[in-house]
Amino acid sequence: MMATKSVLLLLLCLNVVLFLVNAAPSTCPADNLGSKCDESDDWKGEFFPGIPKIKYEGPTTNNPLAFKWYNPEEKILGKKMKDWMRFSVAFWHTFRGTGGDPFGAPTKFWPWEDGTNSLAMAKRRMRANFEFIEKLGVDLWCFHDRDIAPEGKTLEESNKNLDEVVALAKELQGTKIHPLWGTAQLFVHPRFMHGAATSSELGVYAYSAAQVKKAMEVTHYLGGENYVFWGGREGYQTLLNTDMGRELDHLARFLEAAATYKKKIGFNGTLLIEPKPQEPTKHQYDWDAATTANFLRKYGLIDEFKLNIECNHATLSGHSCHHELETARLNGLLGNIDANTGDPQVGWDTDQFLTDVAESTMVMLSVIRNGGLAPGGFNFDAKLRRESTDVEDLFIAHITGMDALARGLRNAAKLIEDGSLAELVRKRYQSFDTEVGAKIEAGKADFEYLEKKAMEWGEPKVPSAKQELAEMIFQSAM
């Protein structure tokens, strides 16, 4: 039961349909649209008829298919909103999400789906992806290799399938669109039951290397700006039957080889690791930003990798998203954000669109302090809830997510321009803006010197930290 539940949880969290897809009833063709859907990928007409190109209409509009806060060309703190945000659509949630959960069957049967995992279906879905991206007005997308193309009987066949779909994607991308990042899906297939680079099986390690090699090649070919590694099954169930030290060594060698291969093929993208504490196994090396940074430092990989911080993963590790972003930023490792949020009452990676404006303001304060995210951006690693089943819900979800972050950017800029929060923080530490403080910060104050000062000053006076005032200032910027 537990095992079944965790597998279902994994499928739920990633919305991976590869092995479930046959259960879905065929809903094609949606003939009332005059569209054609058969064995070929030939889909005539629009995938999203009736959905216009989404435009900015401002906060007073009632139109759910318009932006209220995201105005791509508008400058905030000297930079265009679209350059601060760099929004990206996640193929797996948007085009492979089924709405299934641990207790319920899939709920979403998009009109273009024919219930198969065929190559023709993969191509048709890719066409839908680009119509979606264009109508939403973004120019970045993210993918796993196995989401966009079906796994074949052999690695060669899988690579061939991938090449075919990638060739079509390249054509559909045109000159404006490209991947924010690509990655390899090394967790659904049973071969990964002990992990990928951390598997106890040499054959799986080699297979994973071959799959990552290919995924890096296609990401590079499509003009991708980053490449992501996510723990997935790279973890251990218990330490009774596991050699943790050996697994971590293997993983480090694997990542080293990836960094070498990246240079070999002339891929200038950033390599990112996405910390996550749970699901489907326990993987301590990437529990959170600090743990991952320590892993990278210990193995001499700190200069080759950055972090992709996902807000829902932050929640699962017991941190706020802002804490994870600040930890990454202070270590010089903030590379990308998987923009989503968790449900406070549900204990797994629900991957919801982030709609809490206070949270998005905190997120944007970090992004501004980081000077933006480029070549990273905001990937909507987020999905519709089970009960949202209309095609237009896909648009509404993304629009709300984009508006929430745009609003966060506007609020953060207001706070920075107003300056009173920064002033409050400055005052809080002002005792260090003195000769003695400067000595400490320069590493020139030894214990004897500090003891002399402590005796000279007597009992220190400790003023209020003005926490309530800080919250009042923050709230008034919302």
Given the rule CB under 6 A, which residues bind ligand XLS? 13-14, 144, 183, 228, 230, 274, 276, 310, 338, 349, 381
Query: Would you tell me how many other CB atoms lie within 10 Å of the CB of residue 392?
Result: 13
Size of the site for Ni ion (CB under 5 A): 4
The CA-atom distances, in angstroms, between 42 and each of 36, 142, 146, 320 are: 7, 24, 21, 45
211 binds, among Ni ion, ligand XLS, none (CB under 5 to 8 A by kind): none
- In angstroms, rounded to a whole number, what is the distance separating the alpha carbons of residues 111 and 34? 12
145 vs 338, which CB is nearer to Ni ion? 338
Give min distance, CB of 382 to ligand XLS, in A: 10
Which ranges in 22-154 belong to alpha helices (H)?
81-85, 91-96, 119-136, 145-148
225 vs 338, which CB is nearer to Ni ion? 338
The tokens for 328 are 């990454």
349 binds Ni ion (CB under 5 A): yes
135 vs 276, which CB is nearer to ligand XLS? 276
132 vs 143, which CB is nearer to ligand XLS? 143
272 vs 399, which CB is nearer to ligand XLS? 272
- Which residues within the stretch 363-392 sit at the binding site for Ni ion (CB under 5 A)? 381
The CA-atom distances, in angstroms, between 215 and each of 143, 158, 378 are: 10, 11, 21
35 binds, among ligand XLS, Ni ion, none (CB under 5 to 8 A by kind): none
Give min distance, CB of 97 to ligand XLS, in A: 11
Burial class (CB in 10 A: 0-12, 13-18, 19+), 29: middle
Residue 281: partners with Cβ closer than 8 Å, 6 or more residues away? 195, 233, 235, 236, 237
Crossing angle of helices 202-221 and 244-264, in 10° steps, is 30
> Which residue, judged by CB position, is nearest to ligand XLS in the bound state?
230
Binding mask 311-340 for Ni ion (x = CB under 5 A): ---------------------------x--
329 binds, among Ni ion, ligand XLS, none (CB under 5 to 8 A by kind): none
183 binds, among ligand XLS, Ni ion, none (CB under 5 to 8 A by kind): ligand XLS
The tokens for 302 are 């700190």
Task: Tell me the DSSP string of 11-51.
Answer: HHHHT--TTTGGGSPP----GGGT---SSSS---S-SSTT-
Give min distance, CB of 4 to ligand XLS, in A: 19
54 vs 89, which CB is nearer to Ni ion? 89
Residue 219: partners with Cβ closer than 8 Å, 6 or more residues away? 179, 181, 182, 183, 227, 267, 269
SS3 156: helix
113 vs 338, which CB is nearer to ligand XLS? 338
The CA-atom distances, in angstroms, between 224 and each of 131, 375, 378 are: 19, 10, 14
Task: Tell me the DSSP string of 310-330.
Answer: EHHHHHHTT--HHHHHHHHHH
Catalytic residue selected from 144, 194, 250, 322: 144
Give min distance, CB of 263 to Ni ion, in A: 25
127 vs 276, which CB is nearer to ligand XLS? 276
Residue 178: phi and psi, rounded to 5, are -160, 170
Stretch that binds Ni ion, among 81-89, 131-139, 305-313, 326-334 (CB under 5 A): 305-313
Give min distance, CB of 274 to ligand XLS, in A: 5
CA atoms in the 13 A half-sphere facing the CB of 286 = 29
Give min distance, CB of 38 to ligand XLS, in A: 32
Annotation says 144 is catalytic:
yes
14 binds, among Ni ion, ligand XLS, none (CB under 5 to 8 A by kind): ligand XLS
286 binds, among Ni ion, ligand XLS, none (CB under 5 to 8 A by kind): none
The CA-atom distances, in angstroms, between 301 and each of 186, 230, 294, 376, 382 are: 21, 16, 10, 19, 29
Give min distance, CB of 339 to Ni ion, in A: 9
Stretch that binds Ni ion, among 244-252, 343-351, 356-364, 365-373 (CB under 5 A): 343-351
The CA-atom distances, in angstroms, between 240 and each of 162, 237, 243, 287, 291 are: 39, 9, 8, 20, 22
279 binds Ni ion (CB under 5 A): no
Strands 66-67 and 75-76: unpaired
Give min distance, CB of 338 to ligand XLS, in A: 5
Provide the binding-site residues for Ni ion, judged by CB under 5 A.
Answer: 310, 338, 349, 381
Q: Could you give the residue numbers annotated as active site?
A: 144
